Structure 1
Amino acid sequence: MTTARGAWALGWCGIAGAAVANGGLRERVLVPRLGTLRAHQVSSGVLVATIVATAAVLQRTHPLLDREAALRVGLGWSVGTLAFELGAGAVRGLPLSDLVADYDLRAGRVWAFVPLTMAVAPMLVERLSRRRAAG
């Protein structure tokens, strides 16, 4: 039987895999059709929705029992995401300035919502499940 901690860690791995696939889809399909900026925005939105959906499924199947557990998972997911992004960027030889550019909301870049969603999605779904249980 998988522990809640293990299930949520595997959930992050699944999201990371989905993010890589999402990036490939963005570059091969969306960029030629929508342009770079709009493809970035659509792709980021799809990933945000994937994160929330994954957290909702995990909360139903392997519930986080309190706010503190949800906070720890969210922090782990967000830090893991940032570390993965920096590591993948380094492996691909991308300059840090290219990675940071995706966080520039003034330029229409919305990637900042991805690690933010990683941080808050576990807390959001845990709180919603507590409210439902309270009736």
Structure 2
Amino acid sequence: MLSVVALKAFTIWVGILVLAIANGALREAVLMPRLGIPAALVLSGLLLSALIIGVAYLSLPWLQIRRPMQFWAVGFGWLALTLVFEFAFGLWQGKSWPVLLEAYTFKGGNIWPVVLAVTLLAPYIAAQLRGWG
């Protein structure tokens, strides 16, 4: 049972990753030229946060989990996958550690740490929205 939930949670995270990449493309191509960098970063972060919660809300019945510890486990899994992906992809691109870590500050409108917190909390928030908590 645990491996089935883990596989489903991983599949959902891949969907979140696709949405995050599309969100980044939208930010770069549309939001930044029209709104400027700080506003685009904030709007993009809020949009991605809403998408993550929406995906969590829609996917909870498929995951077939109901206990708070399960919501937290999925959230921690999504957060860990996101961090591993972000750092691995950044290092693969040749970015330095200081450049990678700058994304984890609130400088210039960046709210990436908020998105990470939402990623962790999304299954729990979704369960609360469904009245399962």
The TM-score bracket by the shorter chain reads 0.7 to 0.9
Q: Which amino acid aligns with 1:65?
A: R
Gapped regions of structure 2 (runs ≥ 5): none
Match of 1:73 in 2: 74
Alignment partner, residue 25 of structure 2: 24
Question: In the alignment, which residue of structure 2 is the partner of 1:11?
Answer: 12
Match of 2:103 in 1: 102
Q: Can you list the C-alpha shifts for 1:55-107, whole angstroms capped at 9, x where unaligned?
A: 00011333322111111101000011011111111122222222322222264
Q: Is the 8 A contact 2:16 2:52 kept in 1?
A: yes
- Cα contact 1:74–1:119 (8 A) shared by 2: yes
Q: How does 1:38-117 map to 2 (within 5 A)?
A: 38-105=39-106, 107-117=108-118
Contact 1:67–1:127 (CA under 8 A) maintained in structure 2:
no
| Structure 1 residue 54, shift from structure 2 partner | 0.3
Measured in 1, the distance between the counterparts of 2:62 and 2:87 equals: 31
d(CA) in 2 for partners of 1:89, 1:22: 17
Uncovered stretches (5+) of structure 1, i.e. residues with no partner: none
TM-score, with normalisation over the residues of structure 1? Answer: 0.84
Task: Give, in whole Å, the separation in 2 of the partners of 1:14 and 1:31.
Answer: 24
Structure 1 residue ranges, 4+ long, deviating more than 6 angstroms after superposition? none
Whether contact under 8 Å (1:67, 1:123) holds in the other structure is yes
CA RMSD of aligned residues (A): 1.8
Quote the offset at 1:128 in angstroms. 4.0
Give the percent of matched residue pairs that are identical in Structure 1 and Structure 2. Answer: 31
Q: How many residues align?
A: 129
TM-score (norm. length: structure 2): 0.86
